[in-house]
Amino acid sequence: MVLEKRGALSGAKFVSFEGIDGCGKTTLMDRLAGWLEEAGIACIRVREPGGTSIGEKIREILLDTACSEMTRRTEVLLYSASRAQLIGEVIEPALEKGAWVLADRFVDATFAYQGFGRGFDLERLAMIQRWATGGLWPDKTILLDCDVAVAASRLGQRPGAKRDRIESEAGDFHKKVREGYLFLAREEPTRFVILDAAKPLEEVAKDFHERFWLAEG
């Protein structure tokens, strides 16, 4: 879904990392942050939902398995509220100072999870997101794509792994989310960089280096 949007300010870049739970977003964010540091480029990292004191409180509610009665409309609005706070308090000030922003999920997650996963109307979602973000969109989005079974296996291997409310959804839900991400990537091929996250970590990192870091440099 292509929306009218405004990009980052002052030459800074806003890069989001997306994919189903267990795809390996954190590892690649670590790599990019390291490359930026070596290049002497300021950057900050944020996560969704969360990233601010208000957002972290919202995150607790959204991911709490005890909140099983949450409606999909409530879910959309809570994610959007956390995002709006994160943009105003953290993301926009960083971009205005010329720092790169690396985001563990952003607006595409809402389309994939609440739109495709929950079946929420995409046009209505688009309207809500335009308002919540003020039109701010990532310059680039790194989509780590892998089979749901692979991602689920990785989640289970995490030390002390306990699945949150979203991670605990059935496999069919996560398959719809994956399909949603791939649909979004097809709609905006210049913004999305799709990586095969089923490959070994070093191969994924190599692909990332070649297809994003070298291309951007």
The domains of the chain, with CATH numbers, are: 14-216 (3.40.50.300)
What are the tens digits of pLDDT across the range 60-108?
Answer: 999 999 999 999 999 999 999 999 999 999 999 999 999 999 999 999 9
User: What residues does 101 pair with on adjacent strands?
Assistant: 14, 44
User: What residues pair up with 102 in beta bridges, in sequence order?
Assistant: 15, 45
Q: Is it the case that residue 17 has pLDDT exceeding 90?
A: yes
Look over the chain and give the mean of its residue pLDDT values, rounded to a whole number: 92
Give every CB contact of residue 209 below 8 A, 6+ residues apart in sequence.
31, 35
- Give me the pLDDT at residue 151, please: 86
Q: How confident is the model at residue 160 (pLDDT cuts 50, 70, 90)?
A: low
The pTM (predicted TM-score) of the whole model is 0.92
